[in-house]
């Protein structure tokens, strides 16, 4: 019997849990600060209205539609939407390949958060009091170097095993008993932890008495003071569109899978919008008020530019622990910080595992528990290159193909398929089946013309700016090129294997139909 | 923070919180 969600709130929390991740708290504030501050919110909200929300509705609707044909993943869903085309199901493979590839490295990064939650309470990194020593602690933990903090990769590997097992256990218990139960527990906890940290941040004032101007109000100003000249640059608009794309978890394939467990009469319009608003609250209200204002108040205007440019990981794993060391009850707040990021991570990673598990279940008639074992063993083996090849750029390469290339391409394909092949009249009717809200008619025009064109423009710009240089390995050091090529070969094998799986499954099904006839 | 920063912060927060309240109220009412 096909799985279903236990409640409307459950599916909303699960989709919001999939969307709320590290990017909400670490990527958004850096993007906003570097691209016009408050003025960044203009292209950000325009992208949300024209790209993010329509794509969210497209995925919810297509997913629920495909679920009606007993399909939970993109190959089957795409095939249900365009039956006359024999090849569309192979395009759907991207919707399993992408999340699976992200899962391979994301679980490892997530395990660092679990480890740091533990370290913050045990005082393991308390001796690291400078940026250099905190970076050394992180590098030692990741196994990049042997130093006074870590001599082996052992501790990191143990935390990875715990994290991986936790993820598999959640998926093992299914949609209602595993993912929904986790999301309903983890999402309120996460928001609660973030609110506690937010209150602490807003009451910090000026923590350094010798620099009264290094205060939270000026820290918020660093992030929010508008620089309208940034709006004249295409880079700002692309950064805003990219942030919306990545933050909502659209274009991955996970929302399609989650929505496939809805019933035909379940609403998608209000549910999708509620998941978006939860994600935006976590990103703009919470994410925009924690790291940058705190870093400004402790390191001042001179260093904040360099900190913002140093990237999300540095901000999360180096700058933030250093700051927490300087405030009363620091270990407790550091624990809350890493625990909230871990919860954000785990609700995202289980959603990344589900499409591949659902594919095995649906297309090969395998029971859920067996499918989880099968996926678990394959994913565990595939995680190893990410763990042991971190120094050689394996994670960056996986992130490029799974976390960037697949997303933009898949989002474009599904938007065109929905509006142009499935047909806008049918699509409009399908969106409104069981809907608790009626969409303004302008969205008929937006979904048909604006969203696909917006996506094609992003795809074009992104291919020219990032895609081609990465494809040609322009930024890869010469000594890492053989490893990167090996990763590409591995990814090609995964993709080919999934295509073969689709071919076998459809062949098996057509033979069964012929036999019955 | 200058007044422009406050405007962008308050408008952004206001829109998001209002949307969240609107959505959750309808979802929870429907549930009952």
pLDDT in tens, A349-381: 999 999 999 999 999 989 999 999 999 999 999
Of B1, B16, B20, the CB nearest to A224: B1
Distance from CA of B25 to the nearest CA of A (A): 10
With contacts defined as CB-CB under 8 Å, which chain B residues touch A217?
1
**What average pLDDT does the segment A73-99 reach?**
96
Rounded to whole angstroms, what are the CA distances from A266 to A52, A263, A312? 21, 5, 38
Cβ contact (<8 Å) for A41 and B30?
A: no
A276-314 confidence digits (pLDDT tens): 999 999 999 999 999 999 999 999 988 888 888 888 888
Of A344-358, A397-411, A502-516, which one has max mean pLDDT? Answer: A344-358
Cβ contact (<8 Å) for A437 and B9?
A: no
With contacts defined as CB-CB under 8 Å, which chain B residues touch A12?
27
pLDDT beyond 60 at A28: yes
Q: What per-residue string of b and e applies to A153-169 under the rule 16 or more CB within 10 Å gives b?
A: bebbeebbeebbebbbe
Of B2, B16, B28, the CB nearest to A277: B16
For A443-448, which contacts have Cβ atoms below 8 Å and span 24 or more sequence positions? A443/A54, A443/A57, A446/A49, A446/A50, A446/A54, A447/A54, A447/A57, A447/A58, A447/A415, A447/A418, A447/A419, A448/A419, A448/A420, A448/A424
pLDDT beyond 50 at A33: yes
Mean pLDDT of chain A: 93
Beta carbons of A256 and A59 less than 8 angstroms apart:
yes
Q: What per-residue string of b and e applies to A416-434 under the rule 16 or more CB within 10 Å gives b?
A: ebbbeebeeeebbebbeee
Cβ contact (<8 Å) for A280 and B16?
A: yes
The ipTM of this complex is 0.95
pLDDT beyond 50 at B32: no
Give me the pLDDT at residue B30, please.
Answer: 65
Give me the pLDDT at residue A281, please.
Answer: 97
Cβ contact (<8 Å) for B13 and A37?
A: no
Helix axes A451-462, A53-67, angle to 10 degrees: 110
pLDDT beyond 50 at A476: yes
Question: What pTM value is reported for the model?
Answer: 0.94
Host H or E run for residue A422: none
């Amino acid at each position: 019997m096909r799985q279903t969600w236990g409640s409307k709130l459950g599916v909303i929390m699960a989709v919001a849990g999939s969307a709320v991740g590290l990017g909400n708290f670490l990527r958004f504030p850096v993007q906003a600060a570097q691209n016009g501050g408050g003025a960044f919110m203009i292209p950000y909200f325009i992208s949300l209205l024209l790209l993010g929300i329509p794509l969210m509705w497209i995925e919810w609707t297509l997913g629920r539609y495909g679920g009606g044909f007993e399909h939970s993943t993109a190959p089957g869903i795409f095939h249900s939407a365009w039956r006359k085309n024999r090849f569309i199901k192979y395009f759907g493979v991207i919707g399993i390949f992408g999340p699976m590839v992200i899962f391979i490295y994301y679980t490892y990064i997530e395990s660092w958060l679990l480890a740091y939650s533990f370290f913050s309470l045990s005082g393991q990194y308390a001796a690291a009091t400078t940026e250099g020593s905190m970076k050394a602690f992180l590098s030692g933990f990741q196994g990049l170097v042997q130093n006074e903090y870590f001599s082996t990769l052992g501790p990191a590997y143990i935390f990875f095993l715990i994290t991986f097992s936790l993820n598999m256990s959640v998926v093992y218990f299914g949609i209602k008993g595993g993912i929904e139960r986790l999301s309903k527990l983890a999402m309120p906890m996460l928001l609660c932890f973030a609110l506690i940290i937010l209150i602490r941040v807003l009451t910090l004032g000026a923590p350094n008495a010798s620099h009264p101007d290094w205060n939270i109000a000026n820290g918020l100003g660093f992030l929010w003071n508008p620089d309208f000249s940034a709006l004249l640059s295409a880079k700002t608009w692309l950064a805003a569109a990219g942030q919306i794309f990545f933050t909502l978890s659209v274009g991955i394939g996970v929302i399609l899978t989650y929505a496939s467990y809805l019933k035909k009469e379940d609403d998608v319009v209000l549910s999708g919008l509620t998941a978006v608003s939860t994600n935006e609250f976590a990103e703009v209200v919470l994410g925009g008020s924690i790291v940058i204002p705190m870093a400004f108040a402790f390191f001042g205007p001179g260093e904040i530019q360099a900190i913002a440019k140093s990237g999300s990981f540095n901000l999360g794993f180096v700058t933030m622990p250093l700051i927490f060391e300087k405030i009363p009850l620091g270990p407790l707040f550091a624990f809350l910080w890493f625990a909230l990021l871990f919860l954000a991570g785990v609700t995202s990673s289980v959603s990344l595992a589900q499409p591949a598990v659902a594919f095995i279940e649906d297309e090969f008639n395998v029971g859920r528990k067996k499918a989880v074992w099968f996926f678990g063993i394959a994913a565990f083996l595939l995680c190893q290159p990410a763990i042991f090849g971190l120094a050689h750029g394996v994670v960056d390469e996986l992130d490029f193909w799974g976390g960037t290339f697949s997303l933009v391409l898949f989002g474009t394909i599904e938007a065109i398929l929905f509006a142009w092949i499935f047909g806008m009249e049918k699509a409009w009717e399908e969106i409104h089946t069981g809907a608790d809200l009626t969409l303004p008619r302008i969205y008929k025009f937006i979904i048909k013309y604006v969203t696909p064109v917006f996506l094609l423009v992003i795809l074009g710009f992104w291919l020219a700016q990032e895609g081609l240089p990465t494809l040609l390995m322009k930024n890869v050091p010469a000594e890492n090129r053989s490893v990167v090529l090996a990763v590409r070969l591995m990814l090609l094998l995964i993709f080919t294997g999934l295509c073969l799986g689709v071919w076998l499954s459809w062949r098996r099904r057509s033979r069964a139909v012929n036999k019955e006839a | 923070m200058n007044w422009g920063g406050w405007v962008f912060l308050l408008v952004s927060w206001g829109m998001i919180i209002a949307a969240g309240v609107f959505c959750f109220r309808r979802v929870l009412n429907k549930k009952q």
